[in-house]
Every structure is written in C-alpha cells, then in structure tokens.
Amino acid sequence: MTTDTPLSNISPNNFEQCVKCTVCTVYCPVTAVNPLYPGPKQAGPDGERYRLKRGDFYNEALKYCLNCKRCEVSCPSGVRIGDIIQQARMKYSHGSAGLRDRMLAHTDLMGGIATRLSPTVNGILRLTPVKMAMDLTLGIDRHRTFPSYTPRKFTTWFRRHAAAHQERYTRRVTYFHGCYVNYNFPRLGKDFVKLFNACGIGVDLMPGEKCCGVARIANRLIKQATDAARTNLREIRTAVSRGNDVVATSSTCILTMRDEYPHLLGLDNADVRDNIMTATRYLYRLIESGQVRLVFKENGFPYHLAYHTPCHMAKLGWGVYSIELLKMIPGAMVTVLDNNCCGIAGTYGFKKENYKYSQAIGKTLFDSIARENPDFVVTDCETCKWQIEMSTPYRVVNPISILADAIDFEATRQANMQ
Amino acid sequence: MNFDTIIIGGGLTGLTAAIASAERGERTAIISAGQSALHFSSGTFELLGAVDGKPVTNPVEAMDRLPDTHPYRRIGRERMLSLLPLVQPLLSRAGIATTGNHYINRYRLTPLGKIKPAWLTLDDFATFDSPDRLPWRSVAIVNIADFQDFYPTFLARGLRDHGVECTISSTSIKELDNLRRSATEMRAANIARVLDYSAVCNLAGRIKSVGRGADAILMPAVLGLADDLMVSLLRRLVNKPLYFISTMPTSVPGVRAQMMLNRYFTNLGGTLMAGDTVTGARLDNGRVEAVFTNNHGPEPLTASRFIMATGSFFSHGLVATPSSVIEPVFGLDVDYPADRADWFSKNIGQAQPFMEFGVRTDDSWHPSIGGNTITNLQCVGSVTGGCNPIKQGCGAGVALLTALDVTTPRL
Ligand SMILES: Cc1cc2nc3c(=O)[nH]c(=O)nc-3n(C[C@H](O)[C@H](O)[C@H](O)COP(=O)(O)OP(=O)(O)OC[C@H]3O[C@@H](n4cnc5c(N)ncnc54)[C@H](O)[C@@H]3O)c2cc1C
Ligand code: SF4
Ligand code: SF4
C-alpha cells in the first residue's frame, strides 16, 4: 500500500480506540464499592458496541456513574469514557427525573427560594424529623447535612458594596460565581473580589448568569440544561467581546462550560473556550508573566495546607495552577494529597441509594487527609468541601480564600497600581 | 509555565528521568497522557533475558553480543556499569523494595508456570538462583474463589515439571462477596481495593489453614494497589513463605509501582500533569522553546531541556499509518524499513521487526527533524527502539538506564 488511508471512522468520543486494556477500571471510584455498577470499560466502550446495535441493551445501572472522568484521565487510548456513559444515559435511559432529582438539579431555583427564607430553611433542613421525612419521601439521605443557605446572596452584596468601585480598574475579568457562592457561601465570592481588586483587576458579573447546568445534566434534565447553557454562552460571548476572560472559583462549573457544553449538549463553544478558566489559572498566568504581583503578610502564613485535586480539576489538568499559587505563600507548607475521589460528585451523594457508596468511595481520601493531619485542606470544589467537612474534622478552604487571607492587602494593592 | 526540565510521558522511563532531575533540585514537570506500560508489569524489571534466542546468565557479559543498535551498546559498557548500581537505590527511595542484581540473572515464575530470567523483582514475588532447582518440595497454590484472571492448573503443571508437589485450592472471605456479584468486575485491582486491614486479617486465617503442610504458599497478586502495607501485613500474619504470582492485566504490583513513583516524585516537589497530551511544540533554531498540550491550550510550557519518554506503539509514542511510522508530537525522524512487508513477521511467535522501530537519535539521544538535530530534546525508553523487549527481555532495563543516562552527570 502506498497511499495513506484516512482514519476518519473514529467517533468524536474515540470509542473505537479502546484496546480493552482495563486500565480505566483501576481508577473508577465506583466499581470497587458498588457491585451493581458495571465499571467504565463495560459501561463505556464495551456497552456502546451493543447499544449501537440495539438501544435496549442499555443498562439502568449506568446511573451509578459519578461522571468524575477519572477513567478518561487514566485511559492510554484517549477514549472519552465518561462522555460515552453520560451520552448513553441521555439517549437511552427510560423514565424521567422525579421530584427529588428535579429539586437537587435546580440548584439555582432552590437556592433562590431558600435564600429568601434562609433562617427558616437552614433550621428546618437540620431538624431530624425533617431529614427523616426527606429520606422517606424524597430519597435524600438523612445522614446528609445540607449546606446552609445565606440570608444575603453574593450578587446582592456585590451590587451594594463592590460594583461601584470596579470601574476604576482597566484590567477586568468576568466572575462566574455559580450557585454555591451566590446562595450558600458568598464569603468565597467576597474573597475573590478582594484578592482580584488587590491585584489591580476589576470584577464584572454576567447579568444573566444561570447555573452552569452540571446538576441538570447529571439528573437528565437536558432541555433545562441546554437552555441554561445557551444563556451562559451568550453572556460569556458578550464578556469576551469586551475583552474579558470568564473565571470561576469552582472547577466543576468550568469543566461543564468548557467541555460538557460541546461534548454532551452539542453546543459549540470553540470561539470562547480558551477564555473560560479557573480563577487560579487566570491569576497564575498574570503573576508568571510579571503583570501582577502578590505581596504577602510579613509573618507569612505558617500553616500546613494539603491540596486535594477535585475530579473535575484533575480532568481539566489545572490543579497545578492552584498548587503553584499556594507554594508562593511564604511559611505555608504545601503537600499534595494522592489523587482520590471524595465520593460526593455533586448531587449524587445526596441521594439515598448512593449515600453508602459515596462514603465508601471517600474513605481513601479521608484516611489520607488524616495521615497528613494538615491545618487546612485546600480544594477548588464546593461539593468536595461539603463532603470532606462532613466526613472529617478538617476545615476545607478554596485557594482563593487562602490567598486573600495571606496577602498584605494594602501592599499588594500598591504593587499593582498602574 | 516554566520549568528546568519537562518530561513528556510518565511511564517507567519518564518517572525515572523526572525523579533523577527533581532529586538534583531541578524544577521538573511530567506531562503524561493516560497510564503507562507499568500497568502490565509482571512484577519483575528485566535487564537482559536472551541474546540471539539464547538465555542469558550474566547480563553484563552478554551485552557485548547485542547488536550495535541496542540501547545498552549505545550507552557503552563502562557507562552501563556506572549507572546500573543506581537503579535499586532509586526504586528503594520511592519505597519499592526489590531483589536481584545485574551481575547474574535470577529466575522467576510466570503465571503459566514457566521459569524466566529476572533482574530486579518486587520483594513479594518469588525468585530463585537457578532455573532448574526450585527451593520448595511442596507448595499450596491458593486462588481467590471466582477470580478468573489466574491459572492455577497451568502454574501447578509447570511446578510439577520441576518436581514440586502442588495443591490447588481457592478461598474467600465475606468482604469479597459484594464484588463477586459482578463477574466482569472481579478483577485483581478491584479485589485489591476491597482488601483492607480487617479483610486481610480474615484472609490470612483462611490461607494459613489451607497452606498447612506446604513449604510455601503462592497466590495471585491481588493485594496492595497504592502501597505495600497490606502485602506486608498478610505475609506477616501467614507467617510462612508467601509469594505472589502475576495475574492477567491490569497488574496490581505494576499499578503500585506507578503510584509509588508518582508519589515520590510529587513529594520531591515535582509537578505531575496526568491525563494531558502534548500536541505540539514551538521550535527555534534547532531547540524546543515550548510545548503545548490539550489541557493548557495556548499556554506555553517552557523549559531549558525536554526529555521525551512517550513509549512505543501501545502508548502512541509511535504511530503506524498504512505507509509510514511517525512520531506524532514533533514529527521526529523514525527508523523503519520503507517496505511495509518488512515491518512484521507472519509467524506470530517470531521476533516482530516493528518492535524495534524507534525515533532516530544521535550518541546522546538527541533526535532530529528532517536530519536537523534538536539540541535540547532527548528521546529515551521504548520510544527509541533498537531492541526487542519481548525477545531480549530488556524492557525495563532500557527504560531505566536510558533515563539515567540522560539525567546522571558524567564524572
Ligand atoms: C503489555 C506490556 C507488558 C510489559 N511487561 C514488562 C515487564 O513485565 N517487565 C519489563 O521489564 N518490561 C515490560 N514491558 C516493557 C515496557 O515497555 C518497559 O518495561 C517500560 O515500562 C516502558 O516504559 P516507557 O516509559 O518507555 O513507556 P510507556 O510505559 O509506554 O510510557 C509512555 C507514556 O507516555 C505517555 N505519552 C505518549 N505520548 C504522549 C504525549 N504526546 N503527551 C504526553 N504523554 C504521552 C503515555 O501515555 C505513557 O504514559 C512491557 C511492555 C508492554 C507493552
Ligand atoms: S483504559 Fe481506555 S483503552 Fe483501556 S479498556 Fe478502558 S477505555 Fe479501553
Ligand atoms: S466517570 Fe468516574 S464513575 Fe463514571 S465510569 Fe468513569 S471513573 Fe467510573
């Protein structure tokens, strides 16, 4: 043969490239703890061959997949196993999402209501009888502690206390705060604004921001997820056309907008994908290129920080930016925990049928944290924070909050004045 | 992002080079797409098992009979002798304990009961001084009930051929009941993940009772995925010689070796970018200035030197098209015969020529593009070719020694 035959018979998810090496099964957090789950190789490329022949080969047990993408990170052949599984769930799964799944999936709607009623809601969600009732009627596991809702949304605080000063900065970034910062933990958003302002960077919000949609995708509310994604992409395009990058403090929001939009929802984002990134990547690049300087407090930050790489951060491959930023802090001792899943996977761990698997998956991580015995666990994912704080005595902090705490605010502000 | 050294590929070769660089205080990063050939390891690192089809007793002596193109010949005898003693201590600093030496091959058991030469073998695998005399009169082969990736009958047949009496049994513990419900997930790595402290204590009791009377116990390597704590625990509790036999892939001891090397490198302060693929590079004046990856997109990853350890065909370090063999990242010059008919032998048992294909490099492992040498890039490990790891039994040796050759200063 003398001419190259084009190798065009390969699907975008690469499923034909699987060489059946079983490496992916070693890294799937679910297979070892849940005998009902067929594992990434069977659920992914192997099962896909059958499903392509007949859709009724679909196995409902695919719902146990966390969509953590650890299988994809390990596959030597570049097979997008997690995507294959999620696509199959979207295409073949029967039955629609029930009330519980809808409630869990609508993190923004639920958050909007709960924020307004927060003292009551927080109290109620903590009451044992309510937890028992949710367990029995909704299937939300009673061992779960709901993250508490804040009485004042981040966006409200921003409008009242921050928006006006942002005009003075020429360098601007658009902050995708996400549901968690807005409804549960505005403190992180405030830390973000403080840190970025100190660095001479103004913060804009997207007026029409919607939930990134990860929970809707996981609960197969595809139309709702697609609508939200379209709105977000429109907002992102507006921000980018003004010269802004779009950053978030949650690695999952970023993975969803960069990769799940095109891969699972079929929305092309190639024109703006490079402009969507985690806050730590954005900041690291400015520091490395000398455009921004951090000045730390005189006595440094004398704590042992153990960085946990969230699954979606591992898939993005950007844990390195957070780790490198932490390593810049004088006095901080930074260790990197072995790469393991915490087990919660967003709304997955809240479901009664998943609770015990969720905790069993997390055990390796919890044990490794206990061995390190750090002052703080540091991570870029809010659901990892809930899970680790619920399952261990350690406090979990976003790297942005650590940096906001460790800098000398005034000196950093001075250093970055044009 | 800037480093002193960037290593492309995180298999045995890349990790060895990375550890050696990081130990010298260099700011080092590994970029690695997917997992490596270590996941198929037999538990033995091979140095040299055969030359011209004849088994090797003394690897250092036998190296002189290898063809000039073989990486060991290219490193040269004297340099080989200075690098070889560095290997076992390096593995041991990463927590990987091995038995063996480079002067005289030891021997190990394959899963099918054959006896093969071995260089460094993980401590929990049996090795022998001689290929014909085994140190046991009787062994008990103990499988985990319903575990399919292990072949006790073949193993026993091989051992009986060497005059060893064998009993075969299988055992289980309740902790494995869950896993047993799914035939496809009853795999070595999944078993290893279930066997925690209390499960191992139970298992030890079972093994002790079926192994009574035997000189040694052999069982499949289904223990200790992330470290060797459970391995040591079981061996201590059983309190008689207990050795592991490798299973069908994925190899638990191989994964463990990979994880321990990763962990050691990370603890040295090294940066491990796992699951990322180098897709291209910026070259200037015969030097690599930056590489680009899937995950980092337009962000250049820069370094003063680059080491390429992307493996062979399995790992996509080399890619065969119908008419050519290419190195996909830089488009480096590759050595292979022009006529496709010369790429392989139709007899599947014979040495396959394609196994020897590799990136063409100069005396110090610098590759070239269109004949022009790249001066700050070196290609090592199985991407370089020049040897047949299966026929010559030299896979890990080539990985470890070429990696050390480019990272160990000459005296
Ligand atoms: C199935 C099998 C079993 C083996 N068993 C043994 C054994 O028991 N004992 C023994 O001594 N030898 C064995 N060998 C030989 C083995 O090849 C060597 O021992 C050694 O592990 C090779 O290491 P390497 O690092 O050079 O390549 P690999 O282990 O192949 O690693 C290459 C790495 O580079 C990555 N990579 C490739 N392209 C890119 C890119 N563009 N960007 C980023 N990363 C990239 C790959 O994903 C992979 O992780 C075996 C080989 C195979 C294939
Ligand atoms: S790791 Fe990749 S190639 Fe191997 S079995 Fe899984 S999907 Fe297939
Ligand atoms: S995405 Fe995670 S849970 Fe799903 S198959 Fe892959 S490794 Fe397993």
> What are the DSSP calls for A243-303, one per residue?
T-EEEES-HHHHHIIIIIHHHHH----TTTGGGEEEHHHHHHHHHHTTS----B-TT----
Residues of chain B below pLDDT 70 = none
- Of 3.40.140.10, 3.40.1360.10, 3.50.50.60, 3.40.50.300, the CATH number of B2-99+256-407 is 3.50.50.60
For Cα atoms A378, B293, B354, give the angle at the middle one, nearest 5 degrees: 125
Q: CA-CA distance, A120 to A135, in Å (whole number)? A: 19
Residue of A nearest to B325 (CA): A4
User: Could you report the predicted ipTM of this complex, rounded to two decimals?
Assistant: 0.92
Give residue limits of the domains in chain B: 2-99+256-407, 126-245
Q: CA-CA distance, A221 to A101, in Å (whole number)? A: 9
- CA–CA distance from A123 to each of A118, A120, A145, A146, A147 (Å)? 8, 5, 11, 10, 11
Q: Which fold has domain A12-92?
A: Fumarate Reductase Iron-sulfur Protein; Chain B, domain 2 (1.10.1060)
- B354, B400, B397: which is closest to B49 by C-alpha? B397
What is the full per-residue pLDDT of chain A (418 aa) written as tens digits?
445 555 567 888 988 999 999 999 999 999 878 888 999 999 999 999 999 888 888 888 898 899 999 999 999 999 999 999 999 998 888 766 676 676 666 666 666 666 666 656 666 666 665 565 556 555 667 676 666 777 889 999 999 999 999 999 999 999 999 999 999 999 999 999 999 999 999 999 999 999 999 989 888 889 999 999 999 999 999 999 999 999 999 999 999 999 999 999 999 999 999 999 999 999 999 999 999 999 999 988 999 999 999 999 999 999 999 999 999 999 999 999 999 999 987 777 777 778 888 898 999 999 999 999 999 999 999 999 999 999 999 999 999 999 999 999 999 999 998 6
Query: Length of chain B in residues, anyone?
Result: 411
- What's residue B355's pLDDT? 87
**pLDDT single digits (tens) B208-233:** 999 899 999 999 999 999 999 999 99
Q: Which of B185, B222, B256, B344 to mutate: most A Cβ within 10 Å? A: B185
Amino acid residing at B36: S
Copy the structure tokens of residue A193: 């604004």
Give residue limits of the domains in chain A: 12-92, 304-409
Q: E strands of B223-349, at which residues?
A: 242-245, 271-274, 278-284, 287-293, 301-308, 319-320, 325-326, 334-335
**Within 13 Å and on the Cβ side, how many CA atoms surround B63?**
24
Q: CA-CA distance, A221 to A215, in Å (whole number)? A: 9
The answer to whether B340 and B325 are in contact (CB under 8 A) is no
Q: CA-CA distance, A323 to A399, in Å (whole number)? A: 9
Amino acid residing at B328: P
Residue A314 to residue B324, Cβ atoms within 8 A: no
State the maximum Cα–Cα separation within chain A, in Å, rounded to a whole number. Answer: 75
Alpha helices in A80-185 (DSSP H): 81-92, 99-105, 107-116, 118-126, 128-133, 154-157, 178-179
- A275, A284, A260: which is closest to A89 by C-alpha? A260
Q: CA-CA distance, A67 to A392, in Å (whole number)? A: 24
Torsion angles phi and psi, residue A168, rounded to 5: -75, -10
Copy the structure tokens of residue A267: 């929305």
Give the distance from CA A59 to its chain's centroid: 27
- What's residue A68's pLDDT? 93
> Which of 309-368 (A) contact B at CB < 8 A?
314-318, 320, 323-324, 335-336, 338-339, 364
- CA–CA distance from A3 to each of A8, B322, B323 (Å)? 15, 7, 7
> Which of 266-295 (A) contact B at CB < 8 A?
273-274, 284-285, 288
Nearest CA to ligand 2 atom 6: A24
User: Ligand 3: does its nearest atom lie under 6 Å from the Cβ of A70?
Assistant: yes
- What's residue B197's pLDDT? 93
The answer to whether A378 and A308 are in contact (CB under 8 A) is yes
Q: Minimal Cα–Cα distance from B244 to chain A, Å?
A: 19
Q: What is the DSSP string of B133-175?
A: --S-SEEEEEEETT--S--HHHHHHHHHHTT-EEEEEEE--GG
Ligand 3 atom nearest residue A40's Cα: 5
Q: Minimal Cα–Cα distance from B193 to chain A, Å?
A: 6
- What's residue A92's pLDDT? 86
- Of 3.40.50, 1.20.120, 3.30.70, 2.60.40, the CATH number of A304-409 is 3.40.50
Residue A25 to residue B185, Cβ atoms within 8 A: yes
Residue of B nearest to A71 (CA): B34
- What's residue B184's pLDDT? 76
- CA–CA distance from B2 to each of A324, A371, B301 (Å)? 11, 32, 6
Q: Which residue has the tokens 């690599």?
A: B288
Q: CA-CA distance, A337 to A339, in Å (whole number)? A: 6
Residue A1 to residue B322, Cβ atoms within 8 A: yes
Distance of CA B365 from the midpoint of ligand 1 (Å): 18
- B330, B395, B404: which is closest to B356 by C-alpha? B395
- Is B239 strand, coil or helix? coil
For Cα atoms A50, A256, A71, give the angle at the middle one, nearest 5 degrees: 45
- B257, B259, B301, B307: which is closest to B280 by C-alpha? B301
User: Ligand 2: does its nearest atom lie under 6 Å from the Cβ of A42?
Assistant: no
Torsion angles phi and psi, residue B111, rounded to 5: -60, -20
DSSP H or E run through A363: helix A355-372
Residue of A nearest to B177 (CA): A35
Q: What is the DSSP string of B101-134?
A: -SSS-EEEE-TTS-EEEESEEETTB-EES-SS--
Residue of A25, A75, A83 to mutate, ligand 2, most atoms within 8 A of C-beta: A75
Q: Which of B190, B278, B324 to mutate: most A Cβ within 10 Å? A: B190
Ligand 2 atom nearest residue A21's Cα: 4
Asked if the C-beta of A45 comes within 8 angstroms of chain B's C-beta atoms, the answer is no
Chain B positions in Cβ-Cβ contact with residue A62 (cut-off 8 Å): none
**Residue B221 DSSP code:** S
- CATH number for the region B126-245 comes to 3.40.50
Copy the structure tokens of residue B122: 């993980």
Asked if the C-beta of A9 comes within 8 angstroms of chain B's C-beta atoms, the answer is no
The answer to whether A384 and A396 are in contact (CB under 8 A) is yes
Amino acid residing at B113: G
The answer to whether B216 and B240 are in contact (CB under 8 A) is yes
Residue A3 to residue B179, Cβ atoms within 8 A: no
**pLDDT single digits (tens) B53-86:** 999 999 999 999 999 999 999 999 999 999 999 9
What pTM value is reported for the model? Answer: 0.93
Ligand 1 pocket, CB under 6 A? A 76; B 8-14, 31-38, 40-42, 44-46, 277-278, 309-311, 314-317, 329, 381-382, 389, 395-396, 399
The answer to whether B75 and B51 are in contact (CB under 8 A) is no
* Sign of the alpha-carbon dihedral angle for B376, B382, B383, B388: positive
DSSP bridge pairs for A140: A351
- A176, A280, A283: which is closest to A228 by C-alpha? A176
* Sign of the alpha-carbon dihedral angle for B178, B184, B186, B192: negative
For Cα atoms A135, A311, B248, give the angle at the middle one, nearest 5 degrees: 100
User: Ligand 3: does its nearest atom lie under 6 Å from the Cβ of A85?
Assistant: yes
- What's residue B182's pLDDT? 79
Q: Which of A3, A9, A26, A307 to mutate: most B Cβ within 10 Å? A: A26
